[in-house]
Structure 1
Amino acid sequence: MSASIVLSGITWSTPDGWPLLSDLDLSFDSRRTGLIGRNGVGKSTLLKLVSGELSPQVGSVTVSGTTSVLRQAVQVEAGRTVADLFGVRDDLALLRRTEHGEATAEELERADWTLETRMTVALVRFGLDVPPEADLACLSGGQRTRVGLAALVFDEPDFILLDEPTNNLDREGRAAVIELLAGWRSGAIVVSHDRALLETMDTIVELTTLGATVYGGNWSHYRARKGTELAAAQHDLADAERRAGELARRAQDTAERQARRDSAGKRKRAKGDMPRIQMNTLRSNSENTGGEQARLAERRRTTALEEVAAARRRIEVLQPLSVVFASTGLPAAKTILHVDSVTVGYEPDRPILRDMTFSIVGPERVAIAGANGTGKTTLLSVVTGALKPWNGRVRIETPFALLDQQVSLLHRQASIRDNFLRLNPASDENGCRAALARFMFRADAALQIVSRLSGGQMLRAGLACVLGGKAPPPLLILDEPTNHLDLDSIEAVEAGLRAYDGALLVVSHDEAFLASVGISRRIELTKAAR
């Protein structure tokens, strides 16, 4: 029997009762499937249901075959090693006892003599040269993700389940993931917003508040289909609104004619030239006719308004976020940042950056590039003043905002609204709500507590609070801004940043994002000589 995953009538809500999935039917086979959708719609939850980490509240999940899972973040616990992530700690310990002549005859029979070789092959496939006993806590986030990928394929499962596998990876790591999936011939379900990765998929499944839609083909095919669907939905909305308007006008005309007839009848009755019984009959007939017409008009109006609401909901699903920023007023010739001969690190005599020098003038768009571990985030910490350089100095001569990967500028226990008003003290309630609505935090959504948001929602809230006000900062510093945004939000933020007239200093491995926002210069980092 070929491997398959079937979800039937799945319903699942969050512990606080928020519905995520409702009566969902979906199946996966040996094709590579990209699972996409806006943040908070239930993509990671669906993977957890498939892997068995969660159980459906209603419905069933049937898995035929074996699965291996890579989460968004590889968990780091005290003493946890590479071998633990591969699930071979005991097998590796047996090999070590064997090497020291401490294994029993029974243990020698159980020893897997190819284990280390197979582990090494899997690790090298993702550009890693680390021993099996290496402590995960000593590896960077990108390195841990690579170890997770190596452990994933080491098991040779029927299905691999990947949740944002290219987050925290440098260009080489992303290329390794793309190469893995391009050559993967078993089943794969990949939650991702990485457009280059999604181009390697055989099919795209989009999860929305309306359910799941399957699109045969890769990312480019999906985008073309979505464009056609959006145009059709906009046409349907226009038709529904036109019909609703026509019905409203007809109802008004009917009401006015009835009012004129009623008025004429009253005048006749007032003259007294009609027998009373005839007047009562005419009045009763008029009331009955008027009542029936009113009920029919109300039914038609209700139906028309429901059609309009349905069409608008469809537009809401299809239409991406729209972001427009106010002007910063940054002069073209103003030097806003100068880094002069900076050397810095975290341990004595072990610099991360050595003799770093560069400037940003006017609305330049500069990318900090380099492999994991070369000091990109360290450089941002020096620029923002969070880390003092050992030698050299940094001059930053304009207001700026940093959106780091943790969106630490937001107070976790406050609402999005309260954070916005704190960061934009000149804004009033109406301005706050209008700004947050542009970032899809409408009505009660603006009152959500930050700590309860998903990673993507949190970054979107950070962007809204920093850039949604009347005076955005002239310098925006972004550390991996697309890591947790959904695809629609990425494209909308790209559009907004293209219109932003301030300077950008960006750390990102997302080449499509860097190209879209018009990066004009790159600063390439390499590991400092010890």
Structure 2
Amino acid sequence: LRSYGGDYAHYTARKHDERKAAEALLELRKRERRQQHEVLREQRERQAHRQSRAQRDARTANQAPILLGGMKNRSEHSAGRLQMQQAERRAALDARVDAAAVDVEREAAIAMLPPVLDDPGPQRVANLVAAGLPWVAPPWHTLDLTVQRGQRIGVSGRNGSGKSTLLRLLAGTVAPCSGRVDVSARTALLDQSLSALPAHDSALSWLQRAHPGEDQGSLRTRLALLGLDAGRSLRPLHALSGGERLKAALAALLYAEHPPQLLLLDEPGNHLDLPSLAALEHMLNQYPGTLIVVSHDPDLLDALHLTHRLDAGDHGWVLHAR
């Protein structure tokens, strides 16, 4: 582990400098290896030239056969010793390059492709009238909310204010304790615990279930673009990391045969590394449907080009246009 004092801007600047220094050192080691390979090549050529000249001299010299044989053996021994020394030198040069390469962090490219909606859905996506949120205390226990097609709503507020419960109401996994909740669009919820994922299925089989008409090669490619290679895409989902499970869950939602017209995300940035988080932001900005995102990460919400913010404030729920 390495500790970086300072804020996130300081960390990113330090990481950038370290990466550039590591890349420069790697290029230096590669250049040194190329130069040394040239030196070694010249040594081999000089050795071969000396051997050739010695053989010509031996053929013309008036020497006893035993002396000529000794000269030949010494020449071959010298050539063998040079070959062994050069092999050791090349191995040492390769080791220096490998050691420098270890310090160069390779960030795998992550790509999340936006879904294609065959039907954008109704103009009024959802309507909540005095909807009572189960298990939520005042002043957040009831809510009036109308969601129109194409809106992008970021939900924020303190813990216990009912943000996750609101998403579950919209998804239909819990019923309101009072009032009315009407949702007219095809809806999908990705909760924090990824409860929809079957533990013993693989990412590939789960995606095949979501899109049975797609060929396996295309599905494998989509998973690979998410960083789930052939090995990871076939492992049981419970054996994957939190970030890998989140990617599998996202793939099953976004690459389904009929993608959701209303996408509900509860803390989608949890478990993701920085390249994956950047890919998620890019994909969500291309998502053509209606989006409601719960997140404590203000940078993520700011990056999603929201149309509205729904805040659980001191006096209850307040919807603000952005």
Same fold (TM over 0.5): yes
Q: Please say if residues 494 and 517 of structure 1, whose CA atoms lie closer than 8 Å, have aligned partners that are also in contact.
A: no
Deviations 1:479-509 (A, max 9, x none): 0123444xxx1x3234213432114421112
Q: Which residue of 1 aligns with 2:276?
A: 493
- The residue type equivalent to 1:242 in the other structure is R
TM (norm. structure 2) is 0.68
Q: Please say if residues 478 and 505 of structure 1, whose CA atoms lie closer than 8 Å, have aligned partners that are also in contact.
A: yes
Which of the numbers 205, 225, 242 marks the counterpart of 2:31? 242
Which of the numbers 182, 201, 204 marks the counterpart of 1:393? 182
Q: Please say if residues 152 and 305 of structure 2, whose CA atoms lie closer than 8 Å, have aligned partners that are also in contact.
A: yes
- The residue type equivalent to 1:513 in the other structure is L
CA distance in 2, matches of 1:304, 1:336: 65
- Which secondary structure does the structure 2 equivalent of 1:505 belong to? strand
Q: Which residue of 1 aligns with 2:195?
A: 408
Structure with greater strand percent: 1
Deviations 1:327-346 (A, max 9, x none): 43469x94577334334447
**Are residues 386 and 304 of structure 1, via their aligned partners in 2, closer, same or farther at CA, if it must alter by over 3 Å?**
farther
Return the structure number with greater relative CO, CA threshold 8 A, min gap 6.
Answer: 2
Which of the numbers 384, 397, 400 marks the counterpart of 2:171? 384
Shift of 1:254: 6.4
Alignment of 1:416-495 (within 5 A): 416=203, 419=206, 426=214, 428=216, 432=220, 435-436=223-224, 439=227, 449-453=236-240, 455-456=242-243, 458-460=245-247, 462-463=249-250, 476-485=263-272, 489=273, 491-495=274-278
CA distance in 1, matches of 2:282, 2:248: 19
Q: Please say if residues 479 and 506 of structure 1, whose CA atoms lie closer than 8 Å, have aligned partners that are also in contact.
A: yes
CA distance in 2, matches of 1:497, 1:394: 25
Larger Rg: 2
Q: Does 1:502 align with 2:290?
A: no
**Are residues 347 and 444 of structure 1, via their aligned partners in 2, closer, same or farther at CA, if it must alter by over 3 Å?**
closer
Q: Please say if residues 365 and 519 of structure 1, whose CA atoms lie closer than 8 Å, have aligned partners that are also in contact.
A: yes
Deviations 1:348-393 (A, max 9, x none): 9x995544211132xx532123444444323322433434566352
TM (norm. structure 1) is 0.45
CA distance in 2, matches of 1:252, 1:473: 63
- The residue type equivalent to 1:297 in the other structure is Q
Q: Please say if residues 223 and 229 of structure 2, whose CA atoms lie closer than 8 Å, have aligned partners that are also in contact.
A: no
Shift of 1:396: 1.9
CA distance in 2, matches of 1:309, 1:391: 64
CA distance in 2, matches of 1:264, 1:241: 33
Larger mean Cα displacement after TM superposition, 304-313 or 499-508: 304-313
Instruction: Could you tell me which runs of 5 or more consecutive residues in structure 2 were left unpaired when the two chains were aligned.
Output: 318-322
Percent identical residues: 28
CA distance in 2, matches of 1:262, 1:421: 68
Q: Does 1:219 align with 2:8?
A: yes
Deviations 1:76-134 (A, max 9, x none): xxxxxxxxxxxxxxxxxxxxxxxxxxxxxxxxxxxxxxxxxxxxxxxxxxxxxxxxxxx
Which of the numbers 290, 293, 298 marks the counterpart of 2:82? 293
Matched residue count: 301
The two structures, once aligned, show a CA RMSD in angstroms of: 4.7
- The residue type equivalent to 2:10 in the other structure is H
Shift of 1:304: 2.9
CA distance in 1, matches of 2:255, 2:72: 61
- Which secondary structure does the structure 2 equivalent of 1:216 belong to? coil
- Which secondary structure does the structure 1 equivalent of 2:103 belong to? helix
Q: Please say if residues 326 and 470 of structure 1, whose CA atoms lie closer than 8 Å, have aligned partners that are also in contact.
A: no
Q: Does 1:367 align with 2:150?
A: no
- The residue type equivalent to 1:293 in the other structure is L
CA distance in 2, matches of 1:249, 1:428: 48
CA distance in 1, matches of 2:259, 2:46: 57
Alignment of 1:262-301 (within 5 A): 276-277=65-66, 280-281=69-70, 283-301=72-90
CA distance in 2, matches of 1:506, 1:411: 23
Structure with greater helix percent: 2
